[in-house]
Amino acid sequence: MSKVKLGAVPLVYPIPIVLVGSNVNGRANFVEVGDCAVMGIDPALVTISLSATHHTTSGIDECRAFSINLPSTQLLSRADYCGIVSGKDVDKSRLFTVFEGEQTGAPMIQECPVGLECRVQEVVHIKHRRIFIAEVLECYVSELFVETVDGKQRIADLSKLDPIIYALDNRYYRIGDAIGIGYREGICHEDS
Amino acid sequence: MSKVKLGAVPLVYPIPIVLVGSNVNGRANFVEVGDCAVMGIDPALVTISLSATHHTTSGIDECRAFSINLPSTQLLSRADYCGIVSGKDVDKSRLFTVFEGEQTGAPMIQECPVGLECRVQEVVHIKHRRIFIAEVLECYVSELFVETVDGKQRIADLSKLDPIIYALDNRYYRIGDAIGIGYREGICHEDS
């Protein structure tokens, strides 16, 4: 099959939708972000990328801490709204019940099943982008989404967490069916 | 609802599954990666994180270039296999039809609907992790997944691209239904 060249398009998909929280001038603010990923398990690292002019960015620059909150699809309209309006104009903290991360005071969203309290380790500036690489200090999970299996606590699967997913076609999606298990599906190729 | 603290867990989800390609000692190699994201649209930036000891990492260090290939679910077993075995032991290039990115020579996978040719801009070292932030030079899309709307070429939606999705519960998932449009779902809150 031949390939079509679309130019310089960063077409990684799907994109996780998260709400990044920071304290800006003493007030909690949240912005919808898709530029977010795990960067490692041990040490527990994540990254987010923001525009330098975002209201949230100045808060992270000031506090060197932020939160990543993972909304479920029932929060879709509020999450999208956090991407439409700026905290410079609107107090977005009133959209949610806010609690503080215990180690940094970063504002976190009670209604999100999962929230990560993060401390900035590195900042990369590329043109107007600010890429923050951060250590996860604590992972807060709503008890409804924690299961105990063989005496160990673990997070529920994605069908229950019901995340908001995005793509560069500007559409939101929900998660589909489970289709396999990591490090097991490829075993059939071992002797190929 | 009260929160349970799970410790330092980088629980961002869902995770996009990609195959990162690099030339290592003159041979194409591919590794399955979930630590990958868009970092900006203009400039077109992406990031990946690898262990310093990965075979692919030495290739990227040498060439300062790599590819990101996005497999569909029909490639699940081959993608998973690329995460099980090392290119130090196995020639993984024989799993796919390989073509070269025009600007860097980075090896790319014909069978993947989308491939990104990337040039490294920044490298961040945190313990054993190597975080590569790269510019996307070109986006190659299989013509089956390119639609022409109002005279403009655009990528098909996620239901057609059928990506492999992963989460830290070590399960693979497929994409679900479209549930909304970006910057539109939140309008109802505008006057709230």
In this predicted model, what pLDDT tens digit does every residue of A180-190 receive, in sequence order?
A: 999 999 988 87
* Interchain proximity B129–A40, CB inside 8 Å: yes
Q: Which residues of B touch A170 (CB under 8 A)?
A: 181-183
Residue B77 sits at the chain A interface (C-beta within 8 Å): yes
Q: Which amino acid appears at position B24 of this protein?
A: V
CATH, residue B73 = 2.30.110.10
The answer to whether residue B8 sits within a structural domain is no
The answer to whether residue A138 sits within a structural domain is yes
> Residue range B30-46: average pLDDT?
98
Q: How far is B100 from chain A (nearest CA, A)?
A: 12
* Interchain proximity A14–B142, CB inside 8 Å: no
Which of A43, A140, A182 faces B3 most closely, judged by CB atoms?
A140
Cα dihedral sign for A151, B35, B26, B100?
A: positive
pTM: 0.96
d(CA B109, CA B90) in angstroms, rounded, equals: 17
Q: How far is B115 from chain A (nearest CA, A)?
A: 8
- Is residue A192's pLDDT more than 60? no
Q: How far is A2 from chain B (nearest CA, A)?
A: 6
The answer to whether residue B2 sits within a structural domain is no
Q: Which residues of B touch A123 (CB under 8 A)?
A: none
- Is residue B192's pLDDT more than 90? no
Residue B116 sits at the chain A interface (C-beta within 8 Å): yes
The answer to whether residue B184 sits within a structural domain is yes
> Residue range A68-84: average pLDDT?
97
> Residue range B161-166: average pLDDT?
98
> Residue range B162-168: average pLDDT?
97
The answer to whether residue A10 sits within a structural domain is no
Residue A119 sits at the chain B interface (C-beta within 8 Å): no
Name the pLDDT band for B190 (thresholds 50, 70, 90): confident
d(CA B125, CA B112) in angstroms, rounded, equals: 30
* Interchain proximity A141–B3, CB inside 8 Å: yes
Name the pLDDT band for B11 (thresholds 50, 70, 90): very high
How much is the pLDDT for A157? 92
Which of B46, B122, B177 faces A10 most closely, judged by CB atoms?
B46
How much is the pLDDT for A188? 85
How much is the pLDDT for A190? 72
Which of A47, A122, A165 faces B14 most closely, judged by CB atoms?
A165
Sequence-ordered list of residues with C-beta below 8 angstroms from that of A189, at least 6 positions apart, any chain? B77, B78, B81, B95
Closest to B83 (Cα-Cα) out of A36, A37, A13, A189: A189
Q: Which residues of B touch A12 (CB under 8 A)?
A: 16, 18, 36-38, 46, 68, 70, 116
Q: Which residues of B touch A131 (CB under 8 A)?
A: 39, 45, 47, 133
Mutation site, B68, B161, B175, interface A, largest A CB count within 10 A: B175
Is residue A39 a contact partner of residue A133, using CB atoms and an 8 Å limit?
yes
Which of B1, B77, B190 faces A142 most closely, judged by CB atoms?
B1
- Is residue B1's pLDDT more than 80? no
Mutation site, B31, B72, B131, interface A, largest A CB count within 10 A: B131
- Is residue B14's pLDDT more than 80? yes
Q: How far is A1 from chain B (nearest CA, A)?
A: 6
Q: The domain containing residue B179 runs over which residues?
A: 15-189
Is residue A73 a contact partner of residue A118, using CB atoms and an 8 Å limit?
no
d(CA A35, CA A71) in angstroms, rounded, equals: 15
Name the pLDDT band for A59 (thresholds 50, 70, 90): very high
Is residue B113 a contact partner of residue B161, using CB atoms and an 8 Å limit?
yes
B72: its two tokens: 């569909």
Percent of chain B exceeding pLDDT 90 equals 92
Mean of per-residue pLDDT scores for chain B: 95
Name the pLDDT band for A191 (thresholds 50, 70, 90): low
Residue A136 sits at the chain B interface (C-beta within 8 Å): yes
Residue A125 sits at the chain B interface (C-beta within 8 Å): no
d(CA A68, CA A57) in angstroms, rounded, equals: 13
CA distances from B98 to A154, B22, B90, B94, B110 (A): 39, 11, 16, 8, 6
How many structural domains compose chain B? 1
Name the pLDDT band for B189 (thresholds 50, 70, 90): confident
The answer to whether residue A2 sits within a structural domain is no
Residue B172 sits at the chain A interface (C-beta within 8 Å): yes
Percent of chain A exceeding pLDDT 90 equals 92
Is residue B96 a contact partner of residue B109, using CB atoms and an 8 Å limit?
yes
Q: Which residue has the higher pLDDT, B152 or A67?
A: A67
> Residue range A20-42: average pLDDT?
96
- Is residue B138's pLDDT more than 90? yes
Report the relative pairing of strands A27-33 and A18-24 from DSSP bridges. antiparallel
Percent of chain B exceeding pLDDT 70 equals 98
- Is residue B142's pLDDT more than 60? yes
A117: its two tokens: 């309290």
Residue B149 sits at the chain A interface (C-beta within 8 Å): no
The answer to whether residue B7 sits within a structural domain is no
- Report how far apart the first and last C-alpha atoms of chain B are (Å, whole number): 25
CA distances from A116 to A32, A48, A104, A125, B106 (A): 15, 12, 11, 23, 35
φ, ψ (nearest 5 deg) of residue B97 = -85, 120
Name the pLDDT band for A1 (thresholds 50, 70, 90): low
